[in-house]
């Protein structure tokens, strides 16, 4: 309930989570401030989350939270685990923007309820609800890169208990763009069909959610077909998934409920990266049984059992032995929340899981504290552990596009890290205006990590267990204010200090911006009939992996990459039954020079399309319509 | 008078006209009652497209919908008809001239 109250108070700007776990909520208003074709594009106006391209050949994107890669963020769809393993590099593109109702991002150690996997945080997507007001919504989008997209979402209430919805998405790139003239696709053409149906049944004390989905995606990139013997990059993926959640209230006065949730997916990926092939077949089933009870309003307990089965079958042409990984993980957790007053909340959770793959049990403790010394200040502190099973090759298979040899065949130890964080939010009143000022600091320290090492050997990319230390410190300050009823401004600055040991040497994590500055302005004149959104970002420079000397005597790349700006603008006009929007991204037209190293000779070992730190596309313009 | 001067005078007249416009404030109670934020949003979202509407506030506790409007562009009946279109019968609580800002 607290979250809802906070959202109601702050319709725009940064909406913070109300519970003991620190984080932010991104509602539909925020999501519509940018084109937001998919989950990967929904963080443009958000100061905490970065989304970067991994490489120029496959076009995989990843989230970065607290200066660390996306695999350390646990991705959830309505509280259930979503794509992992081979699907991870593309999973941000698997959630269409207009299907989403809201996103919540919790930073640092999250609740233990959803498993031990979250290390830097947790991102949960809530989809449009079957029991929302019934209707059909159509969204059409087109952009200057000749990408077209269509979405239809429809829901109906079959009777007073049962409601259902159908979500459909299709996207198609008609263009084969080469802004930098290197005869390579700047990013692959993507064709995706995605269908989902979601149902809700609510009668008395019983609630059920169930649904199923199907996705098919084809990515086609690499060298232009006009080149003789082109280096092609093709990735085809198919996913079928289903989920169900049942909850029964035993005693509403004490909020006592028992819930069972299960979801599973089948995922098939076939990839060709020039001369290399990679195929993955993944089957995953997660289930959990939960019991929650409030003894008194001050003391509440959530406890449960879980069982996950993950089966990954990989074939990779240059590895001799077939790679078959099967892991069964039974687990149990308990989480206790103590709320002696409105001003103080303490939450402590612990879970124990057993991995059949590593044949060991491991304990994940997490503690969160929230203290409101006054109505104008909220302080939070959290510390907790996280564990995850790395699928080194599956999660990084896009690195196969590199001319280097990818060494990632072994089963690596479980990744293990401590995360601790402090945050202070101040609500400062200046006249009749409220400025929300937030400061935070997070520290992540790895005990075991699957480290992607470009530095030790210029002919290889090695993914191996951490040997030494690896940590990240991030500090962020952001302030937002409704200057008038119609105008909201937000300014933010984040500093990342990320270090990892590569070949025995503690080095700055490569391809990671040292800082990010963000300024957004949202102006909604005439009761929001018009909306103008401006986003300015300055991404700091950082370290490149150690360059080496090419055959012609020159260095493969500079030692550092520079800071670069990004400007986005969108204008929306609402009508009673539809809205029109148009905008531009990367309006400064800044592009990373030379994104593909040795682009003319992709069959050579020094060919490198994975050295991406900045935008690979120039300015892009788009327009769309949303019909209700 | 050349074109520029004509334009300038028209523009000034327009601006003065806007500044001196006598807005009115209409307070309505809707039936059925507003229950939650969704009802409030539905009213706000739809009524902003009615001609002459300048500002809408809702108050769940008092069950008031307060609409600031331009009486040269719409009427109380017109606004009530707008509410009826989205399923709300309304009773007029008050209809008074808007207080001037400043």
Which pLDDT does position B1 carry in this prediction?
52
Over residues A548-552, mean pLDDT: 80
The number of beta carbons lying within 10 Å of the beta carbon of residue A317 is: 11
Over residues A260-281, mean pLDDT: 94
Over residues B14-23, mean pLDDT: 61
**The CA-based dihedral angle spanning residues A108, A111, A114, A118, taken in that order and rounded to the nearest 10 degrees:** 10
pLDDT bracket for residue B2 (50, 70, 90)? low
In the structure encoding, which two tokens stand for residue A533, read together? 């959104």
Which pLDDT does position B7 carry in this prediction?
67
Over residues A73-81, mean pLDDT: 93
Q: A278-322 pLDDT, tens per residue?
A: 999 999 999 999 999 999 999 999 999 999 999 999 988 765 456
In the structure encoding, which two tokens stand for residue A241, read together? 């998934």
What global pTM score does this model have?
A: 0.89
Q: Residue A91: name the closest of A237, A220, A207 by CA.
A: A237
Which pLDDT does position B12 carry in this prediction?
59
Q: Do B48 and A8 touch (CB under 8 A)?
A: no
The residues that bridge with B55 in the sheet, in sequence order, are B68
- Those residues of chain A whose CB sits closer than 8 Å to some CB in chain B are 8, 133, 526-529, 575-576
Q: Residue A416: name the closest of A347, A368, A367, A466 by CA.
A: A466
DSSP chain B: --HHHHHHHHHHHHHHHHHT---EEEEEEEESPP-SHHHHHHHHHHHTTSTTEEEEEEETTTTEEEEEE-TTT--HHHHHHHHHHTT-EEEEEEEEEPPPP-
d(CA A232, CA A58): 10
Does residue A9 have a pLDDT over 80?
Answer: no
Nearest CA in chain A to B45: A576
Does residue A5 have a pLDDT over 50?
Answer: no
| % of residues, chain A, pLDDT over 70 | 96
Alpha carbon separation from A155 to A136, A162, A199, B11, B93 (Å, rounded): 7, 11, 9, 49, 37
pLDDT bracket for residue A550 (50, 70, 90)? confident
**Computed from CA positions of residues A52, A58, A59, A61, in that sequence, does the dihedral angle turn out positive or negative?**
negative
Phi and psi at residue A566, in whole multiples of 5°?
A: -140, 135
Over residues A566-592, mean pLDDT: 93
Strands A433-448 and A276-296: unpaired
Which pLDDT does position B15 carry in this prediction?
53
Which pLDDT does position B90 carry in this prediction?
93
Between A and B, how many CB-CB pairs are < 8 A? 15
Over residues A105-133, mean pLDDT: 92
pLDDT bracket for residue A83 (50, 70, 90)? confident
Which pLDDT does position A7 carry in this prediction?
31
Over residues A267-281, mean pLDDT: 92
Which pLDDT does position A509 carry in this prediction?
95
Which pLDDT does position A181 carry in this prediction?
80
Q: A148-170 pLDDT, tens per residue?
A: 999 999 999 999 999 999 999 99
| % of residues, chain B, pLDDT over 90 | 56
- Those residues of chain B whose CB sits closer than 8 Å to some CB in chain A are 37-38, 44, 46, 48-49, 53-56
Nearest CA in chain A to B42: A133
More confident residue, A569 or A228: A569
Nearest CA in chain B to A9: B37
pLDDT bracket for residue A409 (50, 70, 90)? low
Contact A280, A269 (CB under 8 A): yes
Q: Do B48 and A529 touch (CB under 8 A)?
A: yes
Which pLDDT does position A12 carry in this prediction?
44
Which pLDDT does position A85 carry in this prediction?
86
DSSP letter at A112 equals G
What distance in Å separates residue A527's CA from the closest CA in chain B? 6
Q: Residue A478: name the closest of A537, A406, A405 by CA.
A: A537
Does residue B17 have a pLDDT over 80?
Answer: no
Question: Which of A528, A576, A579, A626 is most worth mutating to test chain B (most B CB atoms within 10 A of its CB)?
Answer: A576
Over residues A54-74, mean pLDDT: 85
Q: What is the CA radius of gyration of chain B?
A: 17
Q: Do B49 and A528 touch (CB under 8 A)?
A: no
Chain B residue numbers with beta carbons less than 8 Å from the beta carbon of A578 are: none
Chain B residue numbers with beta carbons less than 8 Å from the beta carbon of A576 are: 46, 49
Q: Do A8 and B37 touch (CB under 8 A)?
A: yes
Does residue A261 have a pLDDT over 70?
Answer: yes
Q: Do B48 and A528 touch (CB under 8 A)?
A: yes
Q: Is A388 exposed, middle or buried (0-12, 13-18, 19+ CB in 10 A)?
A: buried
Does residue A8 have a pLDDT over 50?
Answer: no
Does residue A3 have a pLDDT over 50?
Answer: no
DSSP A224-250: -TTSSS--EEEEEEEEEEEEEEEEEEE
Does residue A128 have a pLDDT over 60?
Answer: yes
Average pLDDT over all residues of chain B: 84
Over residues A406-413, mean pLDDT: 83
Range scoring the smallest mean pLDDT among A56-60, A349-353, B45-49, B66-70 = A56-60
């Amino acid at each position: 309930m607290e979250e809802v109250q906070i959202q109601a108070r702050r319709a725009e700007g940064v909406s913070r989570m109300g519970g003991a776990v620190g984080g932010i909520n991104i509602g539909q208003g925020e999501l519509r401030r940018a084109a937001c074709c998919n989950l990967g594009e929904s963080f443009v106006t958000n100061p905490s989350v970065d989304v970067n391209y991994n490489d120029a050949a496959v076009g995989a994107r990843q989230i970065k939270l607290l200066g660390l890669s996306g695999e350390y963020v646990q991705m959830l769809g309505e509280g259930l685990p979503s794509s992992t393993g081979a699907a991870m590099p593309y999973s941000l593109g698997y959630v269409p923007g207009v299907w989403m109702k809201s996103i919540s991002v919790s930073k640092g150690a999250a609740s233990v309820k959803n498993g031990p996997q979250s290390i830097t945080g947790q991102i949960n997507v809530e989809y449009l609800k079957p029991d929302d007001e019934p209707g059909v919504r159509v969204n059409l989008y087109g952009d200057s890169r000749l990408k077209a997209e269509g979405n239809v979402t429809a829901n109906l209430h079959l009777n007073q208990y049962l409601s259902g919805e159908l979500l459909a998405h299709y996207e198609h790139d008609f263009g084969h763009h080469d802004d930098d003239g290197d005869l390579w696709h700047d990013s692959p053409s993507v064709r995706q069909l995605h269908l989902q149906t979601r149902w809700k049944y609510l009668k008395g004390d019983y609630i059920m959610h169930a649904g199923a989905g199907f996705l098919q995606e084809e990515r086609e990139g690499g060298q232009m077909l006009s080149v003789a013997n082109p280096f092609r990059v093709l990735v085809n993926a198919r996913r079928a998934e289903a989920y169900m959640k049942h909850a029964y209230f035993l005693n509403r006065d004490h909020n006592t409920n028992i819930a069972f949730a299960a979801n599973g997916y089948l995922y098939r990926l076939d990839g060709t990266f020039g001369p290399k092939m990679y195929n993955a077949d993944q089957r995953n089933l997660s289930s959990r049984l939960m019991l929650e009870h409030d003894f008194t309003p001050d003391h509440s307990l959530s406890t449960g059992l879980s069982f996950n089965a993950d089966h990954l079958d990989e074939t990779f042409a240059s590895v001799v032995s077939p790679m078959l990984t099967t892991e069964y993980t039974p687990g149990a957790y308990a989480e206790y929340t103590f709320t002696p007053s409105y001003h103080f909340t303490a939450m402590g959770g612990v879970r124990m899981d057993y991995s059949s793959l590593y044949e060991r049990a491991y304990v994940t403790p997490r503690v969160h504290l929230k203290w409101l010394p006054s109505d104008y200040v909220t302080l939070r502190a959290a510390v907790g552990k996280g564990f995850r099973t790395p699928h080194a090759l599956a999660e990084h298979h896009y690195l196969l596009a590199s001319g280097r040899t990818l060494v990632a065949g072994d089963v690596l130890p479980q990744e293990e890290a401590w995360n601790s964080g402090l945050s202070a939010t101040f609500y400062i009143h200046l006249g009749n205006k409220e400025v929300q000022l937030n400061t935070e600091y997070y520290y992540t320290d790895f005990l075991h990590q699957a480290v992607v090492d470009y530095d030790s050997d210029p002919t290889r990319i090695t993914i191996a267990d951490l040997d030494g230390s690896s940590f990240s410190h991030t500090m962020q300050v952001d302030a937002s204010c409704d200057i008038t009823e119609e105008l909201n401004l937000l300014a933010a600055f984040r500093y990342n200090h990320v270090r990892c040991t590569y070949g025995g040497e503690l080095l700055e994590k490569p391809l990671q911006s040292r800082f990010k500055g963000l300024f957004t302005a949202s102006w909604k004149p005439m009761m929001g009939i018009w909306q103008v959104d401006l986003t300015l970002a300055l991404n700091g420079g950082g370290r490149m992996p150690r360059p080496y000397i090419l055959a012609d005597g020159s260095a493969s790349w500079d030692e550092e990459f520079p800071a670069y700006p990004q400007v986005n603008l969108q204008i929306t006009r609402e009508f009673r039954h539809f809205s029109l929007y148009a905008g531009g991204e990367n309006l400064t037209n800044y592009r990373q020079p030379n994104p593909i190293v040795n682009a003319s000779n992709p069959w050579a070992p020094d060919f490198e399309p994975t050295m991406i730190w900045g935008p690979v596309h120039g300015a892009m313009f788009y327009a769309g319509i949303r019909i209700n | 008078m050349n074109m520029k001067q004509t334009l300038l005078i028209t523009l000034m007249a327009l601006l003065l006209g806007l500044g001196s416009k006598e807005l009115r404030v209409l307070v309505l109670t809707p039936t059925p009652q507003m229950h939650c934020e969704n009802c409030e949003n539905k009213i706000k979202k739809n009524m902003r497209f009615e001609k002459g509407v300048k500002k809408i506030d809702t108050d769940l506790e008092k069950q008031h919908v307060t609409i600031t409007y331009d009486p040269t562009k719409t009427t109380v009946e017109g606004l009530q008809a707008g509410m009826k279109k989205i399923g709300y019968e309304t009773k007029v609580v008050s209809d008074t001239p808007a207080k001037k800002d400043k």
